[in-house]
Amino acid sequence: MENLALIDSFSEFKDDKSIDRVTLMAILEDVFRNALKKKYGSDDNFDIIINPDKGDMEIWRRRVIVADEDLDFENEEISLSEARKIEPDFEIGEEVSEEVKLIDLGRRAILALRQNLISKIHEHDNTNLYKQFKDLIGDIYTAEVHHVRPKAVILVDDEGNEIVLPKEKQIPSDFFRKGDNVRGIIENVELKGNKPQIIMSRTSEKFLEKLFEQEIPEVFDGLITIKKVVRIPGEKAKVAVDSYDDRIDPVGACVGMKGSRIHGIVRELGNENIDVINYTNNTQLYITRALSPAKVSSIKIDEEKKTAEVYLKLEEVSKAIGRGGHNIKLAGQLTGYELDVIREGNTIADEDDVELTEFSDEIDGWIIDEFAKIGLDTARSILNQDVNDLVRRTDLEEETILEVIKILKEEFED
């Protein structure tokens, strides 16, 4: 392989990877110097001249002339008799420069040199890619679906970079086809060997926060501050917002007329139910707002234990807990308090009521748990509900609910 052919082969990589001139020459010199070290033991006395634009490269070795009998280091020294074959009037102590042809390195060395060249290019490309996406962590990014696998969706951006969206980082209702554009945040960049793996997430709280920044100008401009975001991806989210300008209603600005501003975000997140809440330093008021749409009667707070007993009327309990317990779970995460819902007295005397767990010999435990998720843990609390409403709010069949009601009614008839 001639010098020109080697440079030409490198130019192909250069065009593909858009490597700048300085980096190009540095990589080339590094590769050649490694080859020289292997061949001659040292590269200290070699000069490498590279001109990639012309496909020109020269390697020159400098050696000091010594008497024939004093020749000890052939790489750094040349005997007087050998030097005079190059130039008859050379004398001991002078320096001789000779050009080294690539062919002098040997065929194997040249093949290894080319392979090393390819490796260095890839290493450089991977390093740049890693740095580029490290700087994008936490930002929204859009890429196209290239391949759908059981455990991940493989995306490709406009530059041809591969991005991984793992199954656990997808919203449960997400469904992707090849060619679809997907938005998410760059959550992490991991090095797998020498190759960076870029991880996207659509389930992160940060994704929802960044969507607010993109869709709501007041958030983008800093007029409205997002204090905290909590979410159960695809199900429900709560976003606490604040504004230092009394003229701005942060909740109204985020939601918009008839939900016009937040609608795009909800749709992006698979119709995730988003509650936007006015942040306040008043803990009681904050907890009350966080439990919306339930109306709280009173709250007893233990600051040391970070717990709060929340008193509600019977008809408000299920609203506070929410479907699957989502509402109270997110309210606790948002406020930082462990919330305990306590029912207030109702029109039917509590002393006549029976805990649902007392029926565990007749009603399966998982069914009892389903009712508990929506705040119904006594016989009376279930009997006071509409059957159709129970079907809608639980994952139970109507037949199952009717059977439970029959068992409970028999208890009170007895």
Domains of the chain, with CATH numbers? 3-131 (3.30.1480), 140-200 (2.40.50.140), 204-279 (3.30.300.20), 350-413 (1.10.150)
The β-bridge relationship of strands 56-66 and 95-99 is antiparallel
pLDDT cut 90: percent of the chain above it? 38
Q: Tell me the C-alpha distance between 355 and 334, whole Å.
A: 30
Tokens of 227: 């204090």
Partners of 58 in beta bridges: 49
Q: Tell me the C-alpha distance between 354 and 312, whole Å.
A: 19
Q: How far from 172 is each of 193, 202, 265, 271, 400, CA to CA, in Å?
A: 31, 10, 16, 11, 27
Summarised one tens digit per residue, pLDDT across range 145-163 is: 999 999 999 999 988 889 9
Summarised one tens digit per residue, pLDDT across range 293-324 is: 889 988 999 999 999 999 988 888 888 888 88
Confidence of residue 224 (pLDDT cuts 50, 70, 90): very high
Query: Which residues fall within 8 angstroms of residue 357, CB to CB, at 6 or more apart?
Result: 368, 377
The pLDDT value recorded for residue 84 is: 85
Q: What is the DSSP letter of 345?
A: P
Q: Tell me the C-alpha distance between 212 and 265, whole Å.
A: 8
User: What distance lies between CA 210 and its chain's CA centroid?
Assistant: 13
pLDDT cut 70: percent of the chain above it? 85
CA angle 204, 182, 261 (to 5 degrees): 70
Summarised one tens digit per residue, pLDDT across range 83-141 is: 888 888 888 888 888 887 776 676 676 676 677 776 766 666 677 777 888 889 999 99
The pLDDT value recorded for residue 208 is: 96
More confident residue, 222 or 24: 222
Q: Sheet harboring 307-312: ordered strands across?
A: 298-302, 307-312, 338-343
User: What is the three-class DSSP state of 142?
Assistant: strand
pLDDT at residue 349 greater than cutoff 50: no
Are 295 and 315 within 8 A, CB to CB? no
pLDDT at residue 290 greater than cutoff 90: yes
Are 279 and 334 within 8 A, CB to CB? no
List phi, psi (to 5°) of 274: -110, 120
Query: Which residues fall within 8 angstroms of residue 205, CB to CB, at 6 or more apart?
Result: 229, 230, 231
The pLDDT value recorded for residue 345 is: 59
Are 14 and 58 within 8 A, CB to CB? no
Provide the mean pLDDT of the chain.
84
The pLDDT value recorded for residue 56 is: 66
Confidence of residue 1 (pLDDT cuts 50, 70, 90): very low
Q: pTM for this one?
A: 0.62
243-261 average pLDDT score: 90
The pLDDT value recorded for residue 78 is: 82
